[in-house]
Amino acid sequence: MEAYLFYNGAIVTMAKDGDRPECLVTRGGRIGFTGRLEDARQWAVSQGLEPVDINLAGAAITPGFIDAHLHPLPMIFFAASADLEGATGLADIGRRLVQQAERVDPPEWVVGVQFQSKTLPPGEQLTRRELDALFPDRAVLIYARDGHCVIANTHLLEAAGIGPDVQSPQGGEIGRYADGALSGAFYEKAVGVPLAHMPAPSLERIVGASQALFDGLARNGITSIGAMLQSDEEGPGGAAASIESLAVQALRENIAQSIYAIVIGKTLDGINALIQSPLNAPDSRAKTRAFKIFADGTFGSCTACMSEPYADKACTHGYMVHDEDEIYRRMRLAHLAGFQVCIHAIGDQGIATCVRLFERLLAEHPKPDHRHRIEHASIASRDMAARIAGLGLQVCTQPLFIRSEKDWLPARLGADRSGMAYPFRGYFDAGIAVAGSSDAPIEAPDVIAAIDYAVNRGGFHPEQGLTPEEALAMFTRNAAFIQFEEAEKGTLEAGKAADIVVLDRDPLAVPASKLSDLKVLNTMIGGAFV
């Protein structure tokens, strides 16, 4: 049985009692002992162990990082597509797409991801016609960075049979030029219109991308993931992503991290099927108990539902992607079946509507310790934070959204509202167990950068910043709690899983301004260095 003894460094347990033991011993896949070094050596002898000494030499260990909300299959798909992050204009976009076209053969589409219209020079835009000039004879699809909008060229639309008479589905919008012709843009639930026709990417490319991608999670110290898995056409991937649960099962051997599965679907069929699948077997280190519902959109696409119009686009408040009766029907079904409800809500009106529906649900069907969640909860007043806390709701948020949005979000929301965006301080002060995540592939699964932005916020409304310990708790203790796994992980205590991150310095001792300089030196999952 492999055993390791960590000593001569900071043992950051994240236990609420603030304990700082002198050393820690792992035994197999568990933490066996924490305490004084002399006592640890005696304990090891009593257990018949000869642990490998890990002299930290002033470095630190913390609980393994938990990314509580990411999308595994889109991460793999994005990794195998053209990355348009930071593209400086249409010419740059064209170069990247041409390179991608050389890597894939028809009938696969040429796909670009992480596009942000805000990065284009004045006077440039990316619509169907600009894509047609680049690729008149290949199907091309562009994903906006927020994942809630795609842009298609004419070849794709014609091959898919999407003509000028196509109608926007409820909860979605199909973009048009001023003359009424299709612009190639599809928003929210309309994203599924072109995606329903997407051919499957090369299995070889997907498998190759998956291995590198999950190795990358380990290099970032991530030992556990909250995995969003589509089970039908409901969700950002449309019908093409309904195989997510099956795909993750097939790729399980490439995923070192333990998995908390959060199933997206119109019904409970998908989550019930996953519970019966090999992915949910005890030896798979996976658990399925959560059901996700989409309520609104995003700030980037102006589809997050707001109580007042967007400051830079006064013609829209955004919208709910389902009516209230449908949202409540799904919430009630999942709640009564004993599942955790995880609801995507970003705009202030979207959040207020969901909180009101949770108030109704818990009044009609009380349940202690339900731990239902709001995913993102991107803008809220202190009064709203108090209502969320009073219901026992949890919040799973993404600090790196600030990095992506801080330069343009004040203009979109207006000065008065931008101070309520990503209100981490308000949530913590209300007593909410706030967990952190990346929403990858929307943001990079870089926990160190996320901790820095939770504390320092890149200068964006620093009054909403957290302490380093609170920020670290978002990715350890709190994330374990909102996944009902606090007895298994989230702190370094005897009996818990030996999920450990080795950092070059104590994250609670460095100046807050230096948090971004922290380095992950090694990652242990279940007692094994990965």
What is residue 232's predicted lDDT score, i.e. its pLDDT? 83
Residue 205 — very low, low, confident or very high, per pLDDT cuts 50/70/90?
A: confident
Residue 208 — very low, low, confident or very high, per pLDDT cuts 50/70/90?
A: confident
What is residue 80's predicted lDDT score, i.e. its pLDDT? 87
pLDDT at 17 over 90: no
Are 429 and 371 members of one domain?
Answer: yes
Are 156 and 251 members of one domain?
Answer: no
Are 428 and 517 members of one domain?
Answer: no
90-99: long-range contacts (C-beta < 8 A, 24 or more apart)?
90/120, 90/124, 90/126, 90/130, 93/126, 93/134, 94/134, 97/134, 97/135, 97/140, 98/134
| 107 prior amide bond cis, ω within 30 | yes
Are 521 and 471 members of one domain?
Answer: no
pLDDT at 385 over 70: yes
Write out the residue range of the structural domain in which residue 177 sits: 81-195
383-387: long-range contacts (C-beta < 8 A, 24 or more apart)?
384/348, 384/351, 384/352, 384/355, 385/423, 385/426, 385/427, 385/429, 385/430, 385/432, 386/430, 387/355, 387/359
Q: Pick the closest to residue 225 from 449, 47, 73 (CA basis).
A: 73
Other beta carbons within 10 angstroms of residue 196's beta carbon come to: 13
pLDDT at 104 over 70: yes
Both tokens assigned to 39? 């006592």
Other beta carbons within 10 angstroms of residue 212's beta carbon come to: 11
Residue 358 lies inside a defined structural domain of this protein: yes
Residue 325 lies inside a defined structural domain of this protein: yes
Strand partners, 5: 25, 53
CATH code of residue 227: 3.20.20.140
Residue 237 — very low, low, confident or very high, per pLDDT cuts 50/70/90?
A: low
Residue 76 lies inside a defined structural domain of this protein: no
Chain segment 487-512, per-residue pLDDT in tens? 999 999 999 999 999 999 999 999 99
CATH code of residue 146: 3.10.310.70
Are 352 and 462 members of one domain?
Answer: yes
Residue 146 — very low, low, confident or very high, per pLDDT cuts 50/70/90?
A: confident
What is residue 194's predicted lDDT score, i.e. its pLDDT? 95
Q: Residue by residue, what is the 3-state secondary structure of 320-379?
A: CCCCHHHHHHHHHHHHHCCCEEEEEECCHHHHHHHHHHHHHHHHHCCCCCCCCEEEECCE
Q: Which position has the token pair 């992503």? A: 241
Average pLDDT, integer, range 350-370: 98
Residue 75 lies inside a defined structural domain of this protein: no
Chain segment 172-187, per-residue pLDDT in tens? 999 999 999 999 999 9
What is residue 81's predicted lDDT score, i.e. its pLDDT? 92
Number of structural domains in the chain:
3
Residue 240 — very low, low, confident or very high, per pLDDT cuts 50/70/90?
A: low
Chain segment 297-334, per-residue pLDDT in tens? 999 999 999 999 999 987 789 999 999 999 999 999 99
d(CA 342, CA 344): 7
CATH code of residue 7: 2.30.40.10
Q: Are strands 286-294 and 340-345 parallel, antiparallel or unpaired?
A: parallel
Are 415 and 524 members of one domain?
Answer: no
Both tokens assigned to 342? 């995880």
Residue 141 lies inside a defined structural domain of this protein: yes
Residue 241 — very low, low, confident or very high, per pLDDT cuts 50/70/90?
A: low
Other beta carbons within 10 angstroms of residue 30's beta carbon come to: 16
Are 505 and 485 members of one domain?
Answer: no
Both tokens assigned to 466? 């957290």
pLDDT at 295 over 90: yes
Q: What percent of the chain has pLDDT over 90?
A: 84
Are 331 and 450 members of one domain?
Answer: yes
pTM over 0.85, yes/no: yes
State the average pLDDT for the chain: 94
Residue 282 — very low, low, confident or very high, per pLDDT cuts 50/70/90?
A: confident
Judged on CB neighbours under 10 Å (0-12, 13-18, 19+), 432 is buried
User: Which of 195, 229, 248 finishes a domain?
Assistant: 195
Are 314 and 411 members of one domain?
Answer: yes
Residue 423 — very low, low, confident or very high, per pLDDT cuts 50/70/90?
A: very high
d(CA 442, CA 401): 9
What is residue 212's predicted lDDT score, i.e. its pLDDT? 84
User: Which of 151, 167, 195 finishes a domain?
Assistant: 195
Q: What single string gives the DSSP state of each residue in 3-39?
A: EEEEESSEE----TT----SEEEEETTEEEEEE-HHH
Q: Mark 240-263 as b/e (b = at least 16 C-beta within 10 Å).
A: bbbbbbbbbbebeebbbbbbbbbb
User: Which of 195, 216, 235 finishes a domain?
Assistant: 195
Are 345 and 414 members of one domain?
Answer: yes
Q: What percent of the chain has pLDDT over 70?
A: 98
Are 508 and 481 members of one domain?
Answer: no
Q: What are the backbone dihedrals phi and psi of residue 99, each rounded to the nearest 5 degrees, phi first?
A: -60, -40
| Spatial CB neighbours of 506, under 8 Å, sequence gap ≥ 6 | 9, 10, 12, 60
Are 296 and 432 members of one domain?
Answer: yes
d(CA 376, CA 345): 6
d(CA 228, CA 245): 9
Average pLDDT, integer, range 57-81: 94
